[in-house]
Amino acid sequence: MTSSSARPARPSDAPATPTPTAAASGRASGKAILLGEHAVVYRRPALAIPLSALQVRADVLRSNGPSVLHSDLYDGPLAAAPARLGPTVTAAAAALDALGVADESIELRIASNLPAERGVGSSAAVAAAVVRAVAAAFGGALDAAAEHELIQRAERVAHVSPSGLDAHAVRAGAPIWFEDGAVSPVTVATPLTFVVADTGIAGRTREAVAGVRTRHDEDPRGTTALLDELGELTRDARTHLATGDARALGAAMDRGHAALGLLGVGDPALDALAAAARAHGAWGAKLTGGGRGGCVLVLSRDDESAAEVAGALRAAGAAATWTTTVEATT
């Protein structure tokens, strides 16, 4: 068949959604909550830092068949994805809908080195990367508020009444202060090196948040006192960041860990890792995220001692450790 026998292309022959050869990408990073988890659900402030070593990348190709997902957790039609991928499916559908292309099909590929269910923001980071990739694939511009709301839709599937902290933190790239639904930047006087250590136990944010709710219903006065203490510690931590007082910041983290334990979201494995970090000279250590498993966040004295503390944490049973430096802003 020669090329001359081919029908000339007419505009009406063009597919409604031409498939580009290159995928459109979206990215987001992990986060650790420095102070304020759980209390933030009750309108106290929270502080979060980025974990840039932990990254999610989503790639989206427009396609003509049924939408499919390729990931380490699942490979197959998006419509048949297992329940634990509900937030991912929701993020893709919500983004298509918001862009006015709800009927379009996509091939979605997710690559992530964030451990799921460890309190480092995996569900929000995946949702953010997916929303961004879908927007890039369909050439639609989503402003920050629209992006946030789409991630929140996915987060509501993950844990019912998310404060919105994670949805901001995974897109921030810098420490953030979160209060009354709004974020603001944080002043950091000196660089600080943190180590995150994974207990290897899946955190259960949904159950932990429900447990705090039950505790609040049963003992409103005692629970409010703990939430107030966490709120104060978070405000103190912001001051210590601004003045460069790492020792005081570490002490606030230790007290935060104790208050979260009293709130009922601790775990012996978290206590053991926090104790190991303190025994190896860390300024402070606390659980981070929903708790009942997941990770501890450790403030080390400097880069050198961070390596030593990370080794000690692995020797104490941590499944993995990551080190991150929060740079000074002044």
Which is nearer to ligand PMV, 28 or 165 (by Cβ)? 165
Segment 65 to 94, residues that bind ligand PMV, using CB under 6 A: none
The residue within the footprint of ligand PMV, chosen from 87, 121, 211, 256 (CB under 6 A), is 121
Task: Tell me the C-alpha distance between 318 and 312, whole Å.
Answer: 9
Which is nearer to ligand PMV, 226 or 312 (by Cβ)? 226
CB of 160 to ligand PMV, least distance (A): 9
Task: Tell me the C-alpha distance between 209 and 224, whole Å.
Answer: 14
Q: Please name which of 45, 325, 316 lies closest in space to residue 198, comparing C-alpha atoms.
A: 316
CB 161 within 8 A of CB 39: no
CB of 121 to ligand PMV, least distance (A): 5
Binding flag, residue 162, ligand PMV (CB under 6 A) = yes
Task: Tell me the C-alpha distance between 149 and 147, whole Å.
Answer: 6
> Is 194 strand, coil or helix?
strand
For residue 111, is it left (φ>0), alpha (ψ between -120 and 50) or beta? beta
Two tokens, residue 106:
């996509």
Q: Which residues of 155-176 are buried (b: 16+ CB within 10 A; e: fewer)?
A: bebbbeebbbbbbbbbbbeebb
CB of 216 to ligand PMV, least distance (A): 13
Which is nearer to ligand PMV, 193 or 205 (by Cβ)? 205
Which is nearer to ligand PMV, 45 or 121 (by Cβ)? 121
Binding flag, residue 231, ligand PMV (CB under 6 A) = no
How many C-alpha atoms does 22 have within 13 Å on its Cβ side?
A: 3
Which is nearer to ligand PMV, 26 or 30 (by Cβ)? 30
CB of 91 to ligand PMV, least distance (A): 15
Letters for 272-291 (x = contact with ligand PMV by CB under 6 A, - = none) are: -----------------xx-
The residue within the footprint of ligand PMV, chosen from 45, 50, 115, 119 (CB under 6 A), is 119
Q: Please name which of 197, 163, 222 lies closest in space to residue 287, comparing C-alpha atoms.
A: 197
Binding flag, residue 128, ligand PMV (CB under 6 A) = no
CB of 52 to ligand PMV, least distance (A): 16
Segment 18 to 47, residues that bind ligand PMV, using CB under 6 A: 37-38, 40-41
Two tokens, residue 233:
């510690």
CB of 293 to ligand PMV, least distance (A): 10
Binding flag, residue 179, ligand PMV (CB under 6 A) = no
Task: Tell me the C-alpha distance between 76 and 63, whole Å.
Answer: 14
Task: Tell me the C-alpha distance between 33 and 175, whole Å.
Answer: 9
Binding flag, residue 234, ligand PMV (CB under 6 A) = no
Binding flag, residue 166, ligand PMV (CB under 6 A) = yes
Two tokens, residue 321:
């450790």
Which is nearer to ligand PMV, 40 or 135 (by Cβ)? 40
Binding flag, residue 152, ligand PMV (CB under 6 A) = no
Biggest distance spanned by C-alpha atoms of the chain: 84
- DSSP track, 296-327: EEEEESSHHHHHHHHHHHHHTT-SEEEEEEEP
> Is 80 strand, coil or helix?
helix
Binding flag, residue 256, ligand PMV (CB under 6 A) = no
- Binding segment toward ligand PMV, per CB under 6 A, in 127-135, 201-209, 252-260, 272-280: 201-209
Q: Give the footprint of ligand PMV on this chain (CB under 6 A).
A: 37-38, 40-41, 119, 121, 162-163, 165-166, 203, 205, 209, 289-290
